[in-house]
Amino acid sequence: MSIRTENIEVNFDLTLKKDLEENEEICPKCGGAGLQVSDNPFGLASDKDKYSEMFPHKKQTIAGCSHCYNGVQRKCAHCNELLGRKGWCDCTGYKNKQTEKQYLKDLEKWNKALKTSVEEHLKEDYTYMLYLDNYGQFFENIGDVIEFLQDQIEQGDIEISNITNMRLFKTNQTSLSFDVQSIIESATEELHDNAYENTMEHQEELQEFLNTFAEKMKKSTLTYFPNWEESIVISPNDLK
């Protein structure tokens, strides 16, 4: 098979209107058209010995510019660099701003939570784990948290004055469970019209059976989630 090449002239004679926000600029890659030439390269089996490239031919067409959206790029508010299609920047100013935003978000979550002192917490009878938000770590009990923080101070990673910034949350736990109705529903989907009702008459029997099984799996499926509503306040005195 042989290839023939045709050249197509494309002329757009039109004017595009762009209403730009302050941090937006016309994309320098496409000049604001929002378009670029896409090669769509291809090769033929018979090309193998004739060309060094795998795809020596092209079916060029016009596609959306891969450096912008609608011919417009946003500028980073911190270093003024054009961001292409990215929603973020690598510069220090941008990173600092993100860190600050995250800090404020964490702080807001912490401020909203109900607070218990370590002393009060020690009087509680609890089986849940604790979540130290600053480190993204779960702990068995408050003793382990304090030991961990003492280690951090000893290693010089934090100072005793940082202790008041620790955001320790209680957790909720959940483990394997089954919803009999939805199990029967999906199991009888393809069966005759009364299969669902007939089976639902015995749902209690199945629920009991599944509960026993879930209980057996409880320990190995137990999962903890931070309870953002309840927290424990650690003071420097708790570490002494």
Q: Which spans of this chain sit near Zn ion (rule: CB under 5 A)?
A: 27, 29-30, 65, 67-68, 76, 78-79, 89, 91, 94
CB of 23 to Zn ion, least distance (A): 11
Q: Would you say 87 or 136 has its CB closer to Zn ion?
A: 87
Q: Would you say 61 or 174 has its CB closer to Zn ion?
A: 61
Q: Using CA atoms, how far apart are residues 221 and 174, in angstroms rounded to an integer?
A: 8
Tokens describing residue 94: 């941008």
CB of 84 to Zn ion, least distance (A): 9
CB of 8 to Zn ion, least distance (A): 22
CB of 96 to Zn ion, least distance (A): 10
Q: Would you say 30 or 163 has its CB closer to Zn ion?
A: 30
HSE toward the beta carbon, residue 191, CA cutoff 13 A: 11
Rg, the chain, Cα only: 31
Q: Which of 36, 77, 43 is nearest to 57 (CA)?
A: 43
Q: Would you say 67 or 109 has its CB closer to Zn ion?
A: 67
Q: Would you say 85 or 202 has its CB closer to Zn ion?
A: 85
Tokens describing residue 35: 């378009």
CB of 67 to Zn ion, least distance (A): 5
